[in-house]
Amino acid sequence: MVEAAAQMKNRYERIVRPLLFSLDPETAHRLTINSLRGASHFDSALRVLKIFQPPSKPKTLFGLTFPNPIGLAAGLDKNGVALPAWAALGFGFVEIGTVTAKAQPGNPGPRIFRLPKQRALINRLGFNNDGADAIAERLRKLRESGRWPAIPVGINIGKSKATPLVEAADDYLYSLRLLHDFADYITLNVSSPNTPGLRDLQEPTALSALLHAIRNNSGGATKPVLIKISPDLLPAELEGILNVCAENGVAGLIATNTTLDHSSVPRELDEEGGLSGPPLREKATALIRDIVAKSAIPVIASGGICDAESAREKFQAGAQLIQLYTGLIYRGPRLLREIMEMM
């Protein structure tokens, strides 16, 4: 199986990636997700995907057992359409979303841009998703079908663009109530740079109010609640977030979202939006070190993980788990085994 996975790695980087990269980024994304969605319905297709599975190395965190510490970051499967396929590929957990209370198309296109020399992406998608009602119904049907994956599933929720910031808590609560029973953990996304004003929810007073509402909602938030934070925080801003999270029993932090620091991007290639991939690596790692030095709250690392070395760096900085996004697009699913083989 290891030899087969290595051959598939070569095919991905020599054949599949060039084909996908011949398409515009969003078309390539839709093609990939639709293919994995189709595979999720057929046992024979899932068996093929399993050749990529890395060796098991269980990790327990938030009271959950993860078969391995590598997860799929939110953003790749926004609508939760391919959960069985992600599990078959060997992810130790998967986070769907960002889901909003209201279905929304996101920002106008084009809105995803590749930076191949840097193995990076810029996106300004803007939480395009089917909305909490439709996604909850999809997850209900998946559970009833018996194909629910045997790995933890996180659900990342955010504020609808049309909802005023002062009503943000009600918006998050709407999604939480619908999706709570399908999630092993809930992530509150307060850090995407592509929804106007969203990062204001990282301000301590606003974050405290949101967490208070989540903790005291009528349905009872019994699942671990995590916060996904920006890599662009100043030290004082991070300290305020850590204090609020500790006071409100936040189970973990996801560090980080995409960055608005485009200083590494050639001017002629720059676009508005959040930057991900290797240009984010150093900033994300530094933030993880800062969190670990100041807090006992567990950290999931996301940002700039493109090979075994960058994954090791995150663990050495103090991360308990990691998540892949841009690295997966450039390297393919063999990246999971590469990371696990160095652990």
Mean pLDDT of the chain: 95
Q: Which domain holds residue 87?
A: 2-341
Is-catalytic flag, 192? yes
| The amino acid at 31 | L
Mean pLDDT to the nearest integer, 60-76:
98
The helix/strand count (H/E) of the chain reads as 13, 13
- Helix then strand then coil, in percent of the chain rounded to 5, is 45, 15, 35
Say what the pLDDT of residue 1 is.
Answer: 53
Say what the pLDDT of residue 343 is.
Answer: 85
Share of the chain above pLDDT 70, in %: 96
Whether the predicted pLDDT of 268 surpasses 80:
yes
Of 312, 305, 183, the C-alpha closest to 256 is: 305
The catalytically annotated residue of 160, 192, 230, 302 is: 192
Structural domain count, the chain: 1
pLDDT digits (tens, 9 = 90+) for 278-287: 999 999 999 9
Say what the pLDDT of residue 185 is.
Answer: 97
Whether the predicted pLDDT of 163 surpasses 90:
yes
Q: Phi then psi for 140, rounded to 5 degrees?
A: -60, -45
Whether the predicted pLDDT of 94 surpasses 60:
yes
Cα distance between residue 133 and residue 175, in whole Å: 8
Say what the pLDDT of residue 11 is.
Answer: 84
Cα distance between residue 24 and residue 163, in whole Å: 31
Confidence grade of residue 192 (pLDDT, cut at 50, 70, 90): very high
CATH assignment of the domain containing 283: 3.20.20.70
Contact (CB, 8 A) for 260 and 232:
yes
pLDDT digits (tens, 9 = 90+) for 205-257: 999 999 999 988 755 568 999 999 999 999 999 999 999 999 999 999 999 99
pLDDT digits (tens, 9 = 90+) for 110-157: 999 999 999 999 999 999 999 999 999 999 999 999 999 999 999 999
pLDDT digits (tens, 9 = 90+) for 316-333: 999 999 999 999 999 999
- Exposure string of 161-178, with b = 16+ CB inside 10 Å and e = fewer, is bebeeeebbebbbbbbbb
Whether the predicted pLDDT of 10 surpasses 90:
no
